Amino acid sequence: MELNVSQLLMEPSGSSREYELDEESFELVESFGKNRIHGAVNLLRTNKSIWVSAGLHSTLDSECGRCLTPYSHPIFLQVEEEYIPTLNPLTGARVTPPSDDSDYYLIDENHTLDLTEVAREYAIMALPMKPLCSQECSGLCSTCGSNLNHTRCACEAPVDPRWGPLLELMSGATETN
Ligand SMILES: [Zn+2]
Ligand SMILES: [Zn+2]
């Protein structure tokens, strides 16, 4: 996830680089498994920074929130971020970071642009609020715990309390008949 940008930093603004990023085993989000991450990275030199545009594919290993079955969740990260150099590549002088509160990342003193932190932040934002193996997942029986996607258990479906008065009325009606 690290790119050396010392050459690009010495080029005029408007210069760019294309990279194909491919890592076999990368932990994007803690406890969501190590998976392949790959995609295209475009670096554009601006007058004071390097603008990163990347489209990264990866997978998160998760557990369905309804049936608790492990499943893999593909994610795509569309990254647009600005990276400011720590050192001037020509003089080696320390660059004063912009004082406005714009969002940016830093290129380190070895002119390494590291996408790790950015990819992790984007992945956390892309995490599903409620992970589901499929939208139609039937979940687990609340009585016996059977996975209702695979089996039908013998437990009775719980009666919605709002039906209570109507059911009483109906049983009363059958008695008088
Ligand atoms: Zn499920
Ligand atoms: Zn059951």
pLDDT of residue 137: 94
Q: How far is the CA of 28 from the centre of ligand 1 (A)?
A: 23
Q: Which residue has the higher pLDDT, 49 or 160?
A: 49
Domain contains 133: no
Cα dihedral 88, 92, 97, 102 sign: positive
Helix (H) or strand (E) run with residue 41 in it:
strand 34-45
Together in a domain, 82 and 104: yes
Average pLDDT, the chain: 88
Domain co-membership, 110 together with 155: no
| Pairing label, strands 70-85, 105-107 | parallel
Whole-number Å distance, alpha carbon 167 to ligand 2 midpoint, is 23
Overall number of domains in the chain: 2
Among 101, 126, 151, the domain-final residue is: 126
Are residue 175 and residue 99 in the same domain, yes or no? no
Q: How confident is the model at residue 157 (pLDDT cuts 50, 70, 90)?
A: low
pLDDT at 4 over 90: yes
* Nearest ligand for residue 73 CA: 1
Cα–Cα distance, 92 to 21 (Å, whole number):
28
**Domain for residue 162, yes or no?**
yes
Domain ranges, residue 154: 138-177
Q: Are residues 121 and 149 in the same domain?
A: no
Looking at the structure, tell me whether residues 109 and 75 fall in a common domain: yes
In the reported structure, the alpha carbon of residue 147 is separated from the centroid of ligand 1 by a whole-number distance in angstroms of: 8
Distance CA 103, CA 81 (A): 8
CA 37 to the chain's CA centroid? 12
**Which is more confident, 123 or 165?**
123
Domain boundary among 84, 105, 126: 126
- The verdict on residue 131 lying in a domain is no
65 and 101, same domain (yes or no): yes
Within 64-169, strands assigned E span 70-85, 105-107, 112-114
Instruction: For residues 25 and 60, state if they share a domain.
Output: yes
Residues 146 and 115 in one domain: no
State the distance from the centre of ligand 2 to the C-alpha of 143, rounded, in angstroms: 5
Handedness of CA 34, 112, 21, 49 (dihedral sign): positive
pLDDT of residue 156: 72
Whether residue 30 is found in the same domain as residue 91: yes
Question: What percentage of the chain exceeds 70 in pLDDT?
Answer: 90
> Backbone phi, then psi, for 123, in 5-degree steps?
-65, -40
Rounded distance from Cα 65 to ligand 1 centre (Å): 7
pTM for the model stands at 0.75
Q: Which residues surround ligand 2, an ion (CB under 5 A)?
A: 141, 143-144, 146, 153, 155
